[in-house]
Every structure is written in structure tokens, then in C-alpha cells.
Amino acid sequence: MLTPTLTGCGERSHLMSADINLDTHITDVVNVIKWEELSRVVLCGHSSGGWAISGVVEKIPALIDSIVYLDAFLPKDGQRPFDMQSPGSQEAVLAAKEAGEISRPPGSKDRYNIDPRNRAWVDSLATPQPIGSSLQPIHLTGALERVPKKAYIRAIAYPHPYFSAYYEVLKNDPSWRRFEVDCGHLVMVDKPEELTGILIDVA
């Protein structure tokens, strides 16, 4: 299992740049798959990672066997992350742009309903987010629909209007599988064993 970090975040925070956009983050993941010579990939994106994986499958569709949206955005062509962010995140992006900054502080994690036992650890790892990746519209041609196996995982203890709407709509699409996990937004932190089981099942 590989867990790519997007440019400007986490251990790649030293690469923060005004040049980072959504294409940068898509390329981050595409290059891991290419240079690791992977195939029949189970591609999983969490939260805003839904934007990146939607772009990845456009670039290398033949290498993706399964795609999993983990409590994630499921964008349509022409949408941009900023337009679907929370009001607080939008304000932070606009404030950074107005000030000539290239990143915004990590968003408040209070709303994520994180297990209290994991909260301090999550807080210690949070880094600023590049604003450029929020402002670029995504270009999609429908490659996602040709992925053989598709799944959406909903963290039911985290209220989110978009994620709930995706989950509801997909129940009418037989090409998708749906899963619920009883925890907050950070499923991979609070319920790693359950998430692993789902990913193996989807694969």
C-alpha cells in the first residue's frame, strides 16, 4: 500500500509554492503509480482527495482497477474545489489571496468528530494548505464511468451535505458499491481496520 503526499502538504510542506494547483496534485499521484510501475490499482481518495483521484483516472485509466471515494468530493466537469468548500475554508482562501499568501492555515478539525484519543496526534500533523489547488476547475471527460469497480464510503458520524448527497444519488447506480462506517470524517485514523477490510473487499 502506498500513501502519496500531495505537494505542499505533510512531509512535502517544504515544497509549498505559488505554482501548486489541482494539476500538481493530480500529477503527484499519477507519477507514483507510473514510477512504481503499478497496475490494477485500487485508488482511494479521502475528502478533498476526491478531486485528485478524479483527475488521476483521466490521465491513466488503464491502470486503475478500482476507485474508492472515502467520504470525499465527487466532482463534475468544470467544478472547482473552492466552490464546494465550507464557508470557513472559503474565507481562509480569500483572506490568503487578498494578503498575497500562497497557503491557508489548516482548517478547524472540531467539526470532523475525531476520536478524542487521536485528536492530539492529528493536530500535530496538520500543515497549511496551498490555495492554488482550490481555485483551478477540474476537467473531466467521463473516464471515471469506465473504471470497472467503483465505491463510495460514507462516514456517518460526520455531517456533510455534499457527501450525503453523493451517497444518496449513488444508491440508484448499480455500477457503484456503497459502504457506511460509524465514525467521524477521519476514517483511516479512527477505524483503520474496518477501512482496510472494505478496500480489500472492493479490490
Looking at residue 125, which CATH number applies to its domain?
3.40.50.1820
Query: For residue 107, is pLDDT > 90?
Result: no
Asked if the structure places residue 5 within a domain, the reply is: no
Asked if the structure places residue 150 within a domain, the reply is: yes
Return d(Cα 107, Cα 10) in angstroms, integer: 14
Of the candidates 52, 85, 46, 51, which has an alpha carbon nearest to the alpha carbon of residue 69?
46
Number of Cβ within a 10 Å radius of residue 160: 19
pTM of the predicted protein model: 0.96
Query: For residue 108, is pLDDT > 90?
Result: no
> Pick the residue with more confidence: 110 or 14?
14
**Range 34-56 average pLDDT:** 97
**Range 184-195 average pLDDT:** 97
**Range 105-128 average pLDDT:** 91
Domain range for 23 is 10-202
**Range 186-201 average pLDDT:** 97
If one counts the domains in the chain, the total is 1
Q: Which three cell numbers stand for residue 63?
A: 491502470
For the chain, the average pLDDT equals 96
Asked if the structure places residue 3 within a domain, the reply is: no
- Indicate which residues carry an active-site annotation: 47
- What pLDDT sits at residue 144? 98
Asked if the structure places residue 23 within a domain, the reply is: yes
Q: What is the distance between the terminal CA atoms of the chain, rounded to a whole angstrom?
A: 12
- What pLDDT sits at residue 55? 98
Asked if the structure places residue 1 within a domain, the reply is: no
Asked if the structure places residue 2 within a domain, the reply is: no
